[in-house]
Amino acid sequence: MKLQANNEPVELESIYRPKNILAKQRTSTHYVVPITGPIGEIYEYGDFVSILAQAGEEDHVYIQLSSPGGSLETCDYLCRRMDECEAHITVEIGLTCAFTASAIALQADDWVIYDSSSMIIHSTSYSLGHGKESDIRSTMEYMERVNREWIERTYSGFLCEDEMYDALAYGTEIYLYADDLRERMPLFQEHRKQCKARQIEEIMRQWDQQKVA
């Protein structure tokens, strides 16, 4: 994985200033992270995870994403690290952004959408393998729940209820093109803002109840 970081001065003070003025200089770092090809194992993204952990509020992480998807476990791990990151994250959506790659894209704060950008969303693919009937049934129930909760958690506010139902019930692949993405992304951002506002309200309500108790 190739990484690029550029230091960009944000605020510079003139050297000619009164002695009683305190001057501060702030710098920001712009990270460029290409994520291409299938989403592999977690250990393959150590450098990316380190950037997400170290980047501060003044920094910017720019992800060049072009991937057919891959490991759901790795996707979930990277999405959690992106959620924890203090920096502003922008994802450039490439020609191919499918399955788990679409989930990584939706974890960003902003997006760059080209005319060639596209997204394919579908439910998890898995094999039950061989074993006792009871074990296979338990595995199937487990994967069905993981799949359902992942789709609902990831695409709520981005897909409509009918689209999520079709993806879960019939395994329908949902194809979105540049025009679709440009239309949906602002609505998705607004949905996330409303969800965060409700979460803050719920936390404040719980605090108030604890104070009364």
Domain 4-122+173-212 classified CATH 3.90.226.10? yes
pTM: predicted TM-score of the whole model, two decimal places? 0.81
For 60-81, what is each residue's pLDDT tens digit? 999 999 999 999 999 999 999 9
Mean pLDDT of 90-109: 97
**Alpha-carbon distance 125 to 149, whole Å?**
14
Phi, psi of 160 (to 5 degrees): -80, 170
Which of residues 212 and 17 earns the better pLDDT score? 212
Helix crossing, 133-155 with 72-84: angle to 10°?
A: 40
Mean pLDDT of 149-158: 94
Phi, psi of 4 (to 5 degrees): -135, 135
186-202 burial by CB neighbour count: b if 16+ within 10 A, else e? eebeeeeeeeeeeeeee
Give me the residue spans of the domains in the chain.
4-122+173-212
Terminal-residue alpha carbon distance, the chain? 53
